[in-house]
Structure 1
């Protein structure tokens, strides 16, 4: 019996990913960890309401195989760089380490196209630092997904997204070569690409860019 755990089920990508995991015949159970239950009913779903300061408790009594992390926030919501670091780095690492302790050997992480631990841009640097920390853990397979702008309906849409969305079809056309990785991607396409991780056993550490995800 294969079991997967998901952190970030309430987010735009997580909401699209969860049904795909539930429909995946490779999994007999999907565990979600969050501040509140998803509200979904499914024979394979188990919601676990957790305190993010003690994510390890969410794995009590669990033996898991694969983990998916679509968890993250924005500087606007977090309120400060320190608070965002706590969420996007510390909680993600706590989830990963607790998953390892529960037997997980495979981990999929939603990052960002500009992730770079040496970037002068805080957001890119934070995502890059999180990626580097995950690489040091003992996962047999680590899938890192680096989308550009995610096209999704959000109640908390960022102002930059509202300005750019109408222009995305044109912008995507001029992003060629090395810039192609920054092209926009529909949230449904992104979720499907992450869900395909369940079939990619033995892939080691792999970074997925736009081209990889739209052809998954």
Structure 2
């Protein structure tokens, strides 16, 4: 889920190129053209994800879905996307016996936050973990770098500023460094195919480290 977004698209390409993955199931609102035969697309309303339950079976689930306040100003719809879809996906994964679940959250996620965005992400994390899926990974990236298909002016400005001040991010500040979408995608693949234990909640600097393993 979320394959049309920056990180989700990079992950999809890596899964396609990886010979360890013989069949990929893609759940989306819109069809992506020119994908290879190893990708099966299930198109529909992700707000009603349970409609896909019969086909929602796999070894691993990657939830890269998310939105922005600019793109989705309605807070009710925003919550349906950033909270509702990941939590429902985790629920179905548990019910269908899927052992590995990945979801991309955000660095400031906090269920007790007064900031709507951070609170929504924090509550999503909390409720995803309640399903006790055997291998649950919540990734909290910092500002994500990479070429997007859509224009995000404020994000572009933020990336420029962050690039200037990044040399000062050392020690505990490392988690605030810009992280490339490719690194996030690679870290998920590395975790999925590793036998070593990892923290359930993975901060940005650890995502970067794991991507290089």
Q: TM-score scaled to structure 1, two decimals?
A: 0.89
1:67 maps to what in 2? 61
Shift of 1:84: 0.7
1:59-80 alpha-carbon deviations (Å, 9 max, x no partner): 3245322100000101111122
| Equivalent in the alignment of 2:170 | 176
Q: Which residue of 1 aligns with 2:106?
A: 112
Correspondences of 1:116-195 after superposition (within 5 Å):
116-195=110-189
Contact 1:140 1:204 in 2 (8 A): no
Does 1:39 pair with 2:33?
yes
Q: Work out the CA distance in 1 between the residues paired with 2:91 and 2:100.
A: 12
Structure 1 runs of 4+ aligned residues shifted over 4 Å read none
Number of aligned residue pairs: give it.
210
Choose which of 75, 82, 100 in structure 1 pairs with 2:76: 82
Q: What residue is the counterpart of 1:3 in the other structure?
A: none
Q: TM-score, normalised by structure 2?
A: 0.90
Structure 1 Cα separation of the partners of residues 144 and 137 of structure 2: 18
Secondary structure of 2:197's counterpart equals: coil
Query: Any gaps of 5 or more consecutive residues in structure 1?
Result: 1-6
Alignment gaps of 5+ in structure 2: none
Give 1:201 shift: 4.6
CA shift in 2, pair 1:146/1:36, >3 Å: same
Match of 1:57 among 43, 51, 65: 51
Q: C-alpha offsets along residues 81-105 of structure 1, whole Å, 9 cap, x if unaligned?
A: 2221111001211122122223211
Q: Is residue 20 of structure 2 the alignment partner of residue 26 of structure 1?
A: yes
Contact 1:142 1:205 in 2 (8 A): no
Give 1:205 shift. 5.5
What value does the CA root-mean-square deviation take over the aligned residues?
1.9
